[in-house]
Amino acid sequence: MGDVSDRIGRPTDNGQIGIIDPDCRLIGLHLYDGLFKVIPFDNKGQLKEAFNIRLEELQVLDIKFLYGCSKPTIVVLYQDNKDARHVKTYEVALKDKDFVEGPWSQNNLDNGANLLIPVPPPLCGVIIIGEETIVYCSANAFKAIPIRPSITRAYGRVDADGSRYLLGDHTGLLHLLVITHEKERVTGLKIELLGETSIASTISYLDNAFVYIGSSYGDSQLVKLNLQPDAKGSYVEVLERYVNLGPIVDFCVVDLERQGQGQVVTCSGAYKDGSLRIVRNGIGINEQASVELQGIKGMWSLRSSTDDPFDTFLVVSFISETRILAMNIEDELEETEIEGFCSQVQTLFCHDAVFNQLVQVTSSSVRLVNSTSRELRNEWNARPGYSINVATANATQVLLATGGGHLVYLEIGDGVLTEVKLAQLEYEISCLDINPIGENSNYSQLAAVGMWTDISVRIFSLPDLNLITKEPLGGEIIPRSVLLCVFEGISYLLCALGDGHLLNFLLNTSTGELADRKKVSLGTQPITLRTFSSKNTTHVFAASDRPTVIYSSNKKLLYSNVNLKEVSHMCPFNSAAFPDSLAIAKEGELTIGTIDDIQKLHIRSIPLGEHVRRICHQEQSRTFAICSLKLNQSSTEDSETHYIRLLDDQTFEFISTYQLDTFEYACSILSCSFSDDSNVYYCAGTAYVLPEENEPTKGRILVFIVEDGKLQLIAEKETKGSVYSLNAFNGKLLAGINQKIQLYKWMLREDGTRELQSECGHHGHILALYVQTRGDFIVVGDLMKSISLLIYKHEEGAIEERARDYNANWMSAVEILDDDIYLGAENNFNLFTVRKNSEGATDEERGRLEVAGEYHLGEFVNRFRHGSLVMRLPDSDVGQIPTVIFGTVNGVIGVIASLPHEQYLFLEKLQSNLRKVIKGVGGLSHEQWRSFNNEKKVVDARNFLDGDLIESFLDLNRSKMDEVSKAMNVTVEELCKRVEELTRLH
């Protein structure tokens, strides 16, 4: 491991190049203009000391190693100062640490030549890909063919001998390039169009005509190349897509379902792969049917015979009656009777039993009923003076608690209920479970019992009811629901308390011992636990005020919130009409629905086939407005048309479009209202991008209203530059136009029409690219002059600068975290915060924004927005923590949370202890990676914590956890709980 950066040198414009000699003699790096860095290998494969060789060519486009050369030889594609492009070869003389002129060179290539492909033996040589020609070049051959104008972005070698290559261009077309040859003599080149894929950044030919297309502009794909074309003449068949949100150019946070939970709608992808992506957290329930029912106290699904694959009945229990619903022939839920059931009382528990039987437990008795004839076959009555208050059952066993701490165990036979054992416990029983998790799926050897008074959970053996394990839970809150379950082959005991906490233990099924206790907070109300299965995997549904699905991934329990407000009861209802469904009781209604895939994030894709650059949402008209551009490819030249489009916020269909002028680009969009006007408008800012201008000198602000689903242009205002940003500001419109900030007011003309009228402005920026406002304060992110703070003075009607950050940061996004702290992202992939110093003693101090926090994110942030992807309950521990979401060029969506000081100090200590325990990939230092670094300085991260590192605590094995716990002097259970709470922020 080492550092290859140099103190001096100008970083290359065309990106870094790293290549390895095919015979593994050295690594070559082109990192700075005019220098080629060599890292030689010794004969054991160890790296030796690196050295630089001067490279005369300053504008390098590509460098590759050639195959089949006795000395390591590079081929360099470069541009000279007259913009002509040439190829040169150099031998690397390791002893002299210098270049020797190579075997051949080739001058005056295609002006668009940008990619070299070295050809392996036996042919050797190099292919030079241009925009209009492809050339094969070696010491003794030169072949060229013309191609349709295109920019090739990626290539993949098909055969080991390098006679066929796949080429991917900037429009997503995939070509096959073939080198025709007789033995080792190249006779020519052929190229053939195969079809269309995502715009490729990498192409890997796997085998048997399977190809992986890696794309940074759209979804990556696994494709198959067929021998015969399909109906559209394409040889490419897409088998799988791998979601990529990048580049996220803009996004907005909306609550489309109006459930208090944010979703992120991103402008993703580029060019033809442009799309909108709707990203939401948690698991959705897709409602199939619902019926109004008040006061549900419990629900169970039953089958009409033991071997029936589907459920027939849904038993719904109320405080003084039990109703039975079933699917009729029209696939509707209707009420029915099971004659053997007692329906005038509340049902405590129901279950399918062996021998085509059903079990119903009420407060006075256990009834065994034939599931086909629906008649009563047997009944076990509680002893006089006792009533059943808690019950559970499986297909062969029933376990009951009758008052006074009595625990009664029955077994089910063909038409018989046998009381096998009665145990007297010292306290009352609060919950029971005998879900079979051993070998036999109908019979459990363990019973879990939750207790009042001593607040414990106990494990008893069946059939003899001997106490095996007693686990005190601590605290005053009783266990309300226990469940024995298996995830990924590991047995657990889950225990839910009356205050919304959930404990989980590892359960040893042979000894009944409990270990590895963990506690999480799911909500604030009592929880009831039920298992259900989805896609042949068992999961657990925790019904409460924050319904949650508990599932396991990589042998670790995960908790994903369900996008429903409050669920009191749930049971699986796998009927023929609604396979794999759930019945869910929530306030006043019973819903039957299917459940989404069990995963944390759900991403829906709306492909638009054009490049989306800006988006905003308007609640009143239930629409989105987007700014997008379409490439028009004609034979002569490519041109772009820019649009402002209106989309329905439920169907995401285009409902209206406004086309901009030639050369006019949309730069910003906003939904806002003005003072003294009740309407809500969309405002768009544009720029005329003319080929001969360095910076636009003209733009427009367009004001639209949505009427009957159409965009109507109400007013337009010409500007003296590009309108980079628009903000609603105290009933007016604030625009960032080139180097100035301009405030417009909305005026009524005499004829009743309205117009934007300039009120005041503020000069003094290089380019005011990003603007955020709060009250009368305006925060500006400049192209290169970091962040400045302006204030609008009502009396004078003027905007003045209040303070600025004097560092030179090239900004990419800004956001206001609170009145005094502003967040910025800059183009070296760092984040930083600055603080307004209102208490400063001198004007000079007050005029300076001090840097409060610094951090290296390693991602280029395009946008910050306030909001959250999770439902935030005000009464939960994390409900009060404000969060900002960011979107990046690589398609990352991240969260920045502002922590209370005491929590920050605790987690900072945890982070520094985790750094000692968790080693980074390749042994790289986490501290170094997270240090703020730009061209001028490198400083340690401060006032920022790495949430991903802290959450990885939950993935550590127990001994590592103990190590951290010892160093922190905090129990593992408490650490797990604090870190689990953090995971609730996103």
- Tokens for 28, please give them: 């070559």
pLDDT computed for residue 877 by the predictor: 58
d(Cα 876, Cα 771) in Å, to the nearest integer? 33
Q: What are phi and psi of 33, to 5 degrees?
A: -55, 135
Is residue 647 scored above 60 in pLDDT?
yes
- Tokens for 58, please give them: 């300053």
What is the pLDDT of the chain when averaged over all its residues?
90
Look up tokens 């038993």; give the residue: 315
| Mean pLDDT calculated for residue range 297-305 | 91
Query: 878 versus 12: which is more confidently predicted?
Result: 12
Is residue 184 scored above 80 in pLDDT?
yes
pLDDT computed for residue 831 by the predictor: 96
| Exposed / middle / buried, residue 228 (Cβ in 10 Å: 0-12, 13-18, 19+) | exposed
Give buried/exposed letters for 638-673 (b at 16+ CB in 10 A, else e).
Answer: eeeebbbbbbeeeeeeebbebebeebbbbbbbbbbe
End-to-end CA distance of the chain: 35
d(Cα 984, Cα 876) in Å, to the nearest integer? 10
Query: 556 versus 692: which is more confidently predicted?
Result: 692
d(Cα 667, Cα 771) in Å, to the nearest integer? 13
Give buried/exposed letters for 66-92 (b at 16+ CB in 10 A, else e).
Answer: bbbbeebbbbbbbbeeeeebbbbbbbb
Cα angle at 156 between 155 and 159, to 5 degrees?
140
d(Cα 290, Cα 510) in Å, to the nearest integer? 43
- Tokens for 586, please give them: 């929530």
- Tokens for 532, please give them: 């259900």
CA 480 to chain centroid, in Å, comes to 34
Look up tokens 């909108």; give the residue: 276
Query: 367 versus 291: which is more confidently predicted?
Result: 367
Neighbours of 800 (CB within 10 A): 12
pLDDT computed for residue 260 by the predictor: 64
CB contact set of 682 (below 8 Å; sequence gap of 6+): 616, 618, 625, 644, 646, 669, 670, 671, 703, 704, 705, 706, 711
Backbone torsion region of residue 510, taken as left when φ is above 0, otherwise alpha when ψ lies between -120 and 50, otherwise beta:
alpha
d(Cα 278, Cα 269) in Å, to the nearest integer? 13
Is the Cβ–Cβ distance between 78 and 61 less than 8 Å? yes
- Tokens for 908, please give them: 């900072």
Is the Cβ–Cβ distance between 135 and 125 less than 8 Å? no
Is residue 650 scored above 80 in pLDDT?
yes
CB contact set of 249 (below 8 Å; sequence gap of 6+): 267, 268, 612, 613, 614, 862, 863
pLDDT computed for residue 873 by the predictor: 54
Residue 637 pLDDT class (50, 70, 90 cuts)? low
Residue 432's H or E segment, with its range, is strand 429-433
Tens digits of per-residue pLDDT, 249-270?
999 999 876 666 788 999 999 9
What is the SS3 assignment for 902-941? Answer: HHHHHHHHHHHHHHHHCCCHHHCCHHHHCCEECCCCEECC
d(Cα 424, Cα 404) in Å, to the nearest integer? 8
Q: Catalogue the long-range contacts made by 649-654 (C-beta closer than 8 Å, 24 or more residues apart).
A: 649/254, 649/256, 649/617, 649/622, 649/623, 649/624, 650/256, 650/622, 652/276, 652/278, 652/606, 652/624
Q: What is the DSSP letter of 279?
A: E
Residue 714 pLDDT class (50, 70, 90 cuts)? very high
| Mean pLDDT calculated for residue range 460-483 | 91
Q: What are phi and psi of 967, to 5 degrees?
A: -65, -35
Is residue 166 scored above 60 in pLDDT?
yes
pLDDT computed for residue 639 by the predictor: 80
d(Cα 767, Cα 739) in Å, to the nearest integer? 4
- The structure's pTM equals 0.81
Is residue 584 scored above 60 in pLDDT?
yes
Sign of CA dihedral 55, 59, 63, 69: negative
Is residue 618 scored above 70 in pLDDT?
yes
Q: Which amino acid is at 872?
A: R
Q: What percent of the chain has pLDDT over 90?
A: 60
| Mean pLDDT calculated for residue range 270-281 | 90
Tens digits of per-residue pLDDT, 58-67?
889 999 999 9
CA 468 to chain centroid, in Å, comes to 44
Q: What is the DSSP letter of 404?
A: T
d(Cα 983, Cα 986) in Å, to the nearest integer? 6
Tens digits of per-residue pLDDT, 527-536?
999 998 887 7
pLDDT computed for residue 635 by the predictor: 52
Q: What is the DSSP letter of 620?
A: T
d(Cα 321, Cα 296) in Å, to the nearest integer? 10
Is the Cβ–Cβ distance between 291 and 333 less than 8 Å? yes
| Mean pLDDT calculated for residue range 131-156 | 90
Q: What is the DSSP letter of 283?
A: B
Query: Which segments within 767-890 are labelled E, that is strand?
Result: 768-774, 777-782, 787-793, 798-804, 811-816, 821-826, 830-835, 850-856, 861-866, 883-888
Tens digits of per-residue pLDDT, 835-887?
998 888 888 888 999 999 999 999 999 999 998 887 665 555 566 788 999 99
CA distances in angstroms from 797 to 257, 677, 742, 759, 791, listed in the order given: 41, 21, 12, 7, 11
Torsion of CA 227, 230, 236, 241, to 10 degrees: -130
- Tokens for 170, please give them: 């900037």
- Tokens for 762, please give them: 């503020």
Query: 3 versus 221: which is more confidently predicted?
Result: 221
Q: What are phi and psi of 291, to 5 degrees?
A: -145, 145
Is residue 304 scored above 90 in pLDDT?
no
Q: What are phi and psi of 12, to 5 degrees?
A: -65, 145
Tens digits of per-residue pLDDT, 690-710?
989 889 999 999 999 999 889
pLDDT computed for residue 640 by the predictor: 86
pLDDT computed for residue 634 by the predictor: 60
- Tokens for 152, please give them: 């090739």
Tens digits of per-residue pLDDT, 806-836?
999 999 999 999 999 999 999 999 999 999 9
Query: 284 versus 662: which is more confidently predicted?
Result: 662
User: Could you tell me whether strands 638-648 and 830-835 are parallel, antiparallel, or unpaired per DSSP bridges?
Assistant: unpaired
| Mean pLDDT calculated for residue range 960-976 | 89
Is residue 799 scored above 70 in pLDDT?
yes
Strand, helix or coil at 445? coil
Cα angle at 339 between 337 and 341, to 5 degrees?
95
Q: Which amino acid is at 47?
A: L
| Mean pLDDT calculated for residue range 948-963 | 89
Is residue 471 scored above 70 in pLDDT?
yes
